[in-house]
Homo-oligomer: A and B are copies of this chain.
Amino acid sequence: MEHENQKLVRSTQLLRSFWSVQKNIVRFVQKIAVENGLSIPQYTILMTLTLHKEMKMTQKKVGEQTFLPKSTLSHAVDGLVQEGFLSRQQVEGNRREMELMITDNGKAFLKRMHLQDGGIHQLFQSAMEQLTDKQYEELIESHLLLSAYLESQVKDQGGK
């Protein structure tokens, strides 16, 4: 019982700990997105695509990764295509799915945005100086363990 309580205290502490970092990240992301004329879902979509080799993914996959509702996704993608940051075409062999890819124009835009003064990367680069190399490595490692577990749970529970 005492042990159960200990677990609850810890999970609460861990959640708060993530939240206190995260709220600052979110705040900056919003700022950057707005300054560059993007909605939050649009920013999220671009970030998700950059994580993939060739910056190329199906819309369905993007949805799975980001948990964005599909109507939101559809509208956001539409805007990005119109801005010329994203190309969208049917997947060969399955005309239901849409293949999304960041255009050269989009890549240039992202680069500008990330080097931008007061941007989130600048902020995080100095924030990281608070950590030793060892702390950094272990932080990444722990996050990896946690996110791997969380992802597996989400799948089990069956999204939406």
Contacts and interface: CB of A to CB of B under 8 A. Distances in A.
Interface of A: 7-8, 10-27, 47, 51, 65-67, 118, 120-121, 123-128, 130-131, 135-136, 138-151, 153-154, 157
A148 to B, nearest CB: 8
The secondary structure that dominates the A interface is: helix
A18 B127 contact: no
26 contacts: A8-B121, A8-B125, A10-B128, A11-B124, A11-B127, A11-B128, A14-B140, A15-B25, A15-B120, A17-B147, A18-B22, A18-B143, A20-B147, A21-B143, A21-B147, A24-B150, A24-B151, A25-B150, A27-B154, A123-B153, A127-B150, A130-B146, A130-B149, A135-B138, A135-B141, A139-B142
Nearest to A133: B10
Contacts of A138: 135, 138-139, 142
Contacts of A51: 16
Given A22-B25, A25-B22, A140 B15 contact: no
A110 to B, nearest CB: 12
A42 to B, nearest CB: 15
A135 B121 CA distance: 26
Nearest to A20: B147
The 5 closest A-B pairs by CB, nearest first: A24-B150, A11-B124, A20-B147, A17-B143, A130-B145
